[in-house]
A and B are shown apart, each in its own frame.
Chain A
Amino acid sequence: MDIYLVEAVINGVLLGGVLALLALGLNLIFGVIDVVWIAYVDLVMCGMYVIYYLYVGYGWPLPLAGAAAIVGVAALGVLVHVLIIAPVLGSAPINQLLATGGLLYFLQSAATLLFTTDFRNIGVRLPIIEIGDIYISFARLIAFVVALVGAVALYVFLKHTYLGTAMRAIAQDREIMGLMGVDQRRIYLITSAIGGGLAGLGACLLALQYDVHPFVGNTFGPITFMICVLGGLGDMIGGFIAAFVISQIIAIGGYYSSNDVSYVLAFVFFILLMLLRPRGILAR
């Protein structure tokens, strides 16, 4: 078997982890609050700047800068909910889309103003792992493992806690939640914080591999949305699987042709599957 193909497949799996994590956050927010945060990946960008400035600028230890990014983006998630989502919750979905779409431009413009359009890198050079003739990026391996741990933690939380059970229930009958003693607004705030926290965790993992700039969200945003829709919006398991399917297409496509073509292939696959299974790969 072709050794470079194996390498591409492994890299695809590793890339899938981070994409799966981002898709989980977006799906969680959609599943619970029924709102699509168009600007979700731009929260990741904010988190990457937090890490960059705390680590490079203020000399914080990297894990501490990462923790600060998670907490900071979680708080930002709560702010997004309180300031932008809560006032338009009852209105037409298009208004919610426009509001969070507006946030995307606001965050990108604000970042350009504050940090300029320079590409910045935290400059951590992690080793490349060699197994035989296969090269694997250690940063990607860490990202994959952490993303997987994050996903499992989220699963356990949703499955085995009162809050998590309420979060799974709320989309099935919003009105009745009050009769269960559940304060809907509180659930929304907690969901926004968790969704933000996952974006912050994503920021930690991406900062190890990529430069941060105000438009870094545009690199991952479309693909994250595509993964969520492919898995069925709000379907967390579907999104998780879709992340790995798409990342494999990108990795293997990239191996046989070029990176640009592989993204084209991924989107062609997406369009075809939307025709065949418009409600998501796991939809019954």
Chain B
Amino acid sequence: MTTSPTMLSLSAVSAGYGSFRALFDVSLEVAAGEAVGVIGPNGAGKTTLMRVISGLIPISAGALAFEGRSLAGLPAHRIVERGIAHVPENRRLFPRLTVEDNLRIGAFIAQARRHYSDRLAWVYDLFPRLRERHGQLAGTLSGGEQQMVAIGRALMSRPKILLMDEPSAGLAPLVVQQVFDLVHRIRAEGFTVLIVEQNVAQVLDVVDRAYLLEVGTIRLAGTSAELTRNDLIRRSYMGI
């Protein structure tokens, strides 16, 4: 996998909110076709990292590049056009719009509109449950179904990489497993994935490599196998 060209790279990125710094010199790479995890405790800066990549938070130092071109200074809606889709924390669906309207907004950018019908059919094939519920208000769906809409909405923009921020957060244990099955299916479709999770054992099961983020800095990096064997990870994050 590491022989593939680098798709997303962060080098020594710092960022924060106002005078509060949440990320310090974070360097991270994702190669095309890879699935990479970012694990770490609450408040480590995982969500900030995702928001920095998709342009919701500006970087204060360092470099951020996608397919060799800098993303620095681009507003969020331009970053989507580059091929980066973000499934935000807590799903953030439009609750009073139908499932299909939520998916339609995912295809807002010009290059996605041209393929709307094909793409919609493809998302419905991926998540047949959504086809059944297409006319229902998104806010009335179960947590697992909402996560399907959130992922489907992101896929509607025909991204090259999918950023997933805590897809299992706030879901019942049984549904959490379903969500990780979804991630498996997304991977099987050939998508590059960067996923942030607190569910360490389960996320290491679906990704190739992972980074451990603590208090805004990368503490550890390695393949899933390496991290699964790592004592620090086992003690602090897997309760073994």
Contact = CB atoms under 8 A, between A and B. Distances in A.
B17 interface: no
A181 B81 contact: yes
A34 to B, nearest CB: 15
Interface in A165-189: 165-166, 168-169, 172-173, 175-183
B151 to A, nearest CB: 13
A155 interface: no
A181 B92 contact: no
Nearest to B102: A169
- Give the one of B76, B95, B97, B101 with max A CB within 10 A: B76
B129 interface: no
Given A162-B108, A178-B55, A181-B108, A168 B77 contact: no
A183 B110 CA distance: 12
Contact of B101 (A168, A177, A181, A182): A168
A166 B107 CA distance: 11
- Give the one of A175, A176, A177 with max B CB within 10 A: A176
Interface residues of B, number: 28
A165 B101 CA distance: 7
B86 A183 contact: no
B106 interface: yes
Contacts of A180: 77, 80, 105-106, 108, 153, 157
B113 interface: yes
A165 B109 CA distance: 13
B80 A172 contact: no
Interface string A6-43: 00000000000000000000000000000000000000
Given A179-B76, A183-B77, A172 B95 contact: yes
B56 A181 contact: no
A162 B94 contact: no
A179 B92 CA distance: 11
B223 to A, nearest CB: 30
Q: Is the interface of A mostly helix, strand, loop or mixed?
A: helix
Contacts, number: 62
Contacts of B104: 162, 165
Contacts of B95: 172
Contact of B56 (A162, A165, A173, A178): A178
Contacts of A165: 97, 101, 104-105
A181 B109 contact: yes
Interface in B41-87: 54-56, 75-77, 80-81, 85-86
Interface in B95-134: 95-97, 101-102, 104-109, 112-113
A119 to B, nearest CB: 45
Contacts of A181: 77, 80-81, 108-109, 112, 157
Nearest to A177: B77
A179 B88 contact: yes
Interface in A148-166: 162, 165-166
Contact of B86 (A166, A168, A179): A179
Given A178-B56, A180-B105, A182-B105, A173 B76 contact: no
B85 to A, nearest CB: 8
A169 B107 CA distance: 13
Given A176-B92, A179-B88, A181-B81, A162 B101 contact: no
A58 to B, nearest CB: 40
Contact of A162 (B54, B77, B107): B107
9 contacts: A162-B108, A165-B104, A169-B101, A178-B54, A178-B75, A178-B76, A180-B108, A181-B109, A181-B157
